[in-house]
Copies of this chain bind each other. A is one copy, B any other.
Amino acid sequence: MLHLQPRVKVKVMRIGLLAARAGVTTSRIRFYEAQGLLPPPPRRHSGYREYDERALEIILFINRARGLGFSLAEVAAHLDSPQDHRRKSRLLSKMEDKIRELDSHLADLQSRRTTLLNLATELRRNMAQDQ
């Protein structure tokens, strides 16, 4: 054994593997970096980005939050906020806001649906008379 491995061996990966593991495109990852959501990773001499597991966790977090309807700006604000005990209470109030937003959006879609159904019914009757 001529070589000692460093004590902390960090597995690294290039952007393509990270993207595949996170289920996103590489361009999306570069976009998140450009927007400040993902810290710029170290580069190889070739310029290739070199990621570790934390990058994967951040992307998965963003994915979840986006899936719940948070904007990237909202996600960024949360990622930037200090990790103290007030973080949770801020997060909770954001979630409550989001639920209220969803409720009004749902009501809106429901009323559209009703209107469309009524119009469709009217139109069908109308067409039957044309016969």
Contacts and interface: CB of A to CB of B under 8 A. Distances in A.
Interface of A: 67-69, 85, 88-89, 91-92, 95-96, 98-99, 102-103, 105-106, 109-110, 112-113, 115-117, 119-120, 123-124, 126-127, 130
A54 B118 CA distance: 26
Given A68-B112, A69-B112, A109-B106, A99 B85 contact: no
Nearest to A103: B113
Contacts of A96: 120
Given A127-B89, A130-B85, A119 B95 contact: yes
Given A89-B127, A130-B85, A95 B116 contact: yes
A112 B123 CA distance: 34
A106 B113 contact: yes
